Amino acid sequence: MRLGVDGRKIPEAAKRGPVASLDHGKQLGLDGLFFRTVLDMSPTLDGGYLRAIRQRADELDMYLETGLGKVNPYATPEAPELRQIGDGDIVLGFRRMMEACAAIDCRELWVGTANYKVAYVGRYAYDRFRTDVSWDEQLRATESFLRKLAPIARDLGIHINIETHEEITSFEVVRLVESVGPDVTGIVFDTANVLQRAEHPVWAAKRVAPYVRQTHVKDALVAYDGDILDFQMRPCGKGVVDFGAILPILAAARPELNLTIENYESFSDRPRRFARLVMEISDPDWLAAHPDLTAEEYAAYLDMVQRYRQRMQAEGMMDRPSWAAWAEQNFHYDEAVAYIEQSAAHIREVCAAQRLPLRAVAA
């Protein structure tokens, strides 16, 4: 395994561009960058530029991972670039992106099922709860679209890896992979997103492990406010995610897996209001929208939240509103770097303690 960082969220990613961001990642002691989509690297799929990125990654002995885009036909209109790159034909657009990726030997490719809607707090931030089209219909449309991409992936030796994104459960991602075929699909396991679907990260890791081919390694605070739960990103080791339990599961399933830290984004890079994420964890309708969730996992999740509450008190951690107020004012370049370094240190510590095959920091 190697430890890297998110190519879109590493501080100053847009300012520096992909090549210099690779150098930046190296300076931070990391072994790779995971650019969310190939269009992030080159919006025009410029083959020369993409080769230059690959060359720099190779020179620095870093992994280079990337992806495609949203594969839910109900969500793709929110990403018009996917259709534009196919001159109006979105399947052709995906083919061109996949060919461009294969040309630089990127064959594990991220995809997602929807966009998180930061404008809303609560269930409508998640397309799972769309009122115009049911989540089941979206999943069916997604599967159908993935089946259109499957032959292209097969030809190019590509895995289309579906992220455990905020709106989808790990149960559903596994079913998509098993239905479309694990020869052409896989999973990008985001260790914290599953929390937003009332899934215990360790339980989710066990479900997805056989198919995980890329990762977003991240951690989060999950804490009650009344009877809803708040979710807020935290450096790895400072939230509820038990990496000591998860990493051995992932390493056993795929020892060559790359671990990509997804950091909280600097407010200088992306000025914004602090977005509040909540889980309506006690609401019967919200829970009914998670039909795969078992009482045992739900109880384990509640246990995890209670233990974290005790830990927050014991360690005097900042609560959600305090951290939000602090971050909005103070979370810039230095803080984002510290966040990545703290996360990396925790992951390295866990791997060392358990003798997991994580490549050591290059000298």
**Using CB under 8 A as the criterion, which residues of the chain lie in contact with other proteins when the complex forms?**
224-227, 281-284, 287-288, 290, 293-296, 298-300, 302-303, 306
CB atoms near residue 178 (< 10 Å): 12
End-to-end CA distance of the chain: 17
Q: How far is the CB of 28 from other proteins (least distance, A)?
A: 39
Q: How far is the CB of 296 from other proteins (least distance, A)?
A: 6
Choice between 91 and 281, CB closer to other proteins: 281
Choice between 184 and 229, CB closer to other proteins: 229
| Residue of 163, 162, 42 lying closest to 97 (CA atoms) | 42
CB atoms near residue 181 (< 10 Å): 14
Residue 36 and residue 65 in contact, taking contact as beta carbons nearer than 8 Å: no
Helix (H) or strand (E) holding 121: none
- Sequence-ordered list of residues with C-beta below 8 angstroms from that of 178, at least 6 positions apart, any chain: none
Q: Which long-range contacts (CB under 8 A, 24 or more apart) does 252-257 make?
A: 252/209, 253/209, 253/210, 253/212, 254/209, 254/212, 254/213, 255/1, 255/357, 256/1, 257/1, 257/212, 257/213, 257/214, 257/215
CA distances from 246 to 45, 95, 162, 355 (A): 36, 34, 19, 14
Choice between 144 and 294, CB closer to other proteins: 294
Q: How far is the CB of 301 from other proteins (least distance, A)?
A: 9
Choice between 36 and 128, CB closer to other proteins: 128
Residue 218 and residue 191 in contact, taking contact as beta carbons nearer than 8 Å: yes
Q: How far is the CB of 227 from other proteins (least distance, A)?
A: 4
Q: How far is the CB of 241 from other proteins (least distance, A)?
A: 18
Choice between 84 and 294, CB closer to other proteins: 294
Choice between 63 and 135, CB closer to other proteins: 135
Q: How far is the CB of 47 from other proteins (least distance, A)?
A: 50
Q: How far is the CB of 230 from other proteins (least distance, A)?
A: 11
Q: How far is the CB of 234 from other proteins (least distance, A)?
A: 20
| Residue of 50, 46, 49, 96 lying closest to 69 (CA atoms) | 96
Q: How far is the CB of 316 from other proteins (least distance, A)?
A: 19
Choice between 242 and 265, CB closer to other proteins: 242
Residue 5 and residue 28 in contact, taking contact as beta carbons nearer than 8 Å: yes
Q: What is the b/e burial string over 216-227, where b = at least 16 CB atoms within 10 angstroms of the residue's CB?
A: bbbbbbbbeeee
Choice between 144 and 282, CB closer to other proteins: 282
| Residue of 216, 191, 232 lying closest to 321 (CA atoms) | 232
Choice between 288 and 314, CB closer to other proteins: 288
